[in-house]
Amino acid sequence: MKTYKIGVMGGDGTGPEVTVEAVKVMDAAAAKFGFKVEQTEYDFGGERYMKTGEILPDGAVDELKKQDAILLGAIGHPDVKPGILEKGLLLRMRFEMDQYINLRPVRLFPGVETPIKDKGPKEIDYVVVRENSGDIYTGSGGIMMKDTPHEVATQTAVYTRFQVDRALKYAFEYARKHGKKARGVGEENTVGLVGKTNVLTFVYDLWERAFHEMGKKDYPDIRRDYYHVDATCMWMVKSPEWFDVLVTGNLFGDIITDLAPTPQAGMAIVACGNITPEGFSMFKPFGGSVPKYTAMGVINPLATNCAMQMML
C-alpha cells in the first residue's frame, strides 16, 4: 500500500482548528481509496516565535523536505509585527523549496450563492496560475537617505526567462490536462496571460514574447488570450466565463486572486497550492489566521478540506 508522508503545520489563530478537520478528511480518503498516511505535526508559527525568537529553526527546511507535502493552516499573529512571519515562514518556504507555482482555482460550487448577478458554477470556473518565485517578491531594492527629505525607495520587479518559461509551461500543461475542453465543458483549452504590456514594457514584454513563442511551438492546440491586469479585474466580475487558465506574475497574481474569492462567495471554500511541479509542495486554505475568531468554532473548514483535496 502506498504511504504518503504529510507534514501538518497548523500555524496561528484559527489555523490549527481547520487543519484538524482536514486531517479527518485525509484519513477518510485514505481508508476509502487504499493508501496510508504518516503524519508529522510542526508547531512553527507566531506562538513559537514569541517564545523562542526563531521562526524556522536551523535544519527545519531540510526536515520539512523529507515530507511528501505540507498542509498549512494559517500564518499571522496579532502580537508579531506584520511581515516577520510572512517573510520568515511562508515566503522562505516558497523560495527555499522553489515552490514556483501558486495555483488558485476559482470555482463556484453548485448550490452556493454568488454576489455576481446571473452567474453560476458554469460561468465561475477557472484557475489562476500565479508565478510564485520572482517579481517584486525577490527583495531587490532598498531605501537610501532614509529619514531625510531626499529619501528614495525602490523595489524592483525581476523576472528571468527561466522563471517565466517554467510558469508558462505549467500553465499550458495544466490547460491541456484540465482546461475546459479537457473537462468536457468547453470547446477549447485556453491560457490567458495577464500582464500590463502597456506600462511594464520590459517585464511583461518578456512574458508576452515567451508566451507566444512557447504556445506557437509546443502548444498549438491551446488557444492564447492576453488581458491587461486592470481589465482582468473588471472581467473577473463581469465575464468570468471567458477564463479557463490564467497565468500571471507574482504580484498581479497575488492581487487578482484576492478578488477571486468574492464571486466564489467568500474565502470559506478557497484553497491554494504552493507547488514545485517536480517535487515538494505546500497546500493551504486561502484565508488568514483571523485571530479574533480563534477557538470559537466559526471558521468553515471547507477551504482546508479543499486544500487537502488538491494535495491528494
Residues that bind ligand IPM (CB under 6 A): 86, 90-91, 254
| Pairwise CA distance, residues 253 & 104, whole Å | 9
Which stretch, 60-68, 155-163, 250-258, 285-293, contacts Mn ion (CB under 5 A)?
250-258
- Partner whose binding site includes residue 236, from ligand IPM, Mn ion, none (CB under 5 to 8 Å by kind): none
Residue 272, C-alpha cell as written in the block: 491554494
Nearer to ligand IPM, 86 or 123 (CB): 86
Nearer to ligand IPM, 289 or 305 (CB): 289
- Partner whose binding site includes residue 86, from ligand IPM, Mn ion, none (CB under 5 to 8 Å by kind): ligand IPM
- Terminal Cα distance for the chain, rounded: 15
- Partner whose binding site includes residue 135, from ligand IPM, Mn ion, none (CB under 5 to 8 Å by kind): none
- Partner whose binding site includes residue 85, from ligand IPM, Mn ion, none (CB under 5 to 8 Å by kind): none
Residue 122, C-alpha cell as written in the block: 458554469
Nearer to ligand IPM, 30 or 171 (CB): 171
Nearer to ligand IPM, 91 or 233 (CB): 91
12 binds Mn ion (CB under 5 A): no
> In angstroms, what is the minimal distance from the CB of 281 to ligand IPM?
14
- 14 vs 29, 70, 159, 189, 278, CA distance in Å? 23, 17, 35, 38, 31
135 binds Mn ion (CB under 5 A): no
Do the beta carbons of residue 261 and residue 286 sit within 8 Å? yes
| Pairwise CA distance, residues 298 & 294, whole Å | 8
* CA 69 to chain CA mean position, Å: 15
| Pairwise CA distance, residues 211 & 249, whole Å | 12
> In angstroms, what is the minimal distance from the CB of 91 to ligand IPM?
6
- Minimal CB distance to ligand IPM: which residue? 86
| Pairwise CA distance, residues 259 & 266, whole Å | 10
> In angstroms, what is the minimal distance from the CB of 255 to Mn ion?
8
Q: Which of 14, 254, 285, 289 binds Mn ion (CB under 5 A)?
A: 254
131 binds Mn ion (CB under 5 A): no
> In angstroms, what is the minimal distance from the CB of 250 to Mn ion?
10
Q: Where does the chain have alpha helices with state H?
A: 15-33, 46-52, 60-65, 84-85, 92-96, 161-178, 203-218, 229-238, 250-259, 302-311
Per CB under 5 A, residues contacting Mn ion are: 254
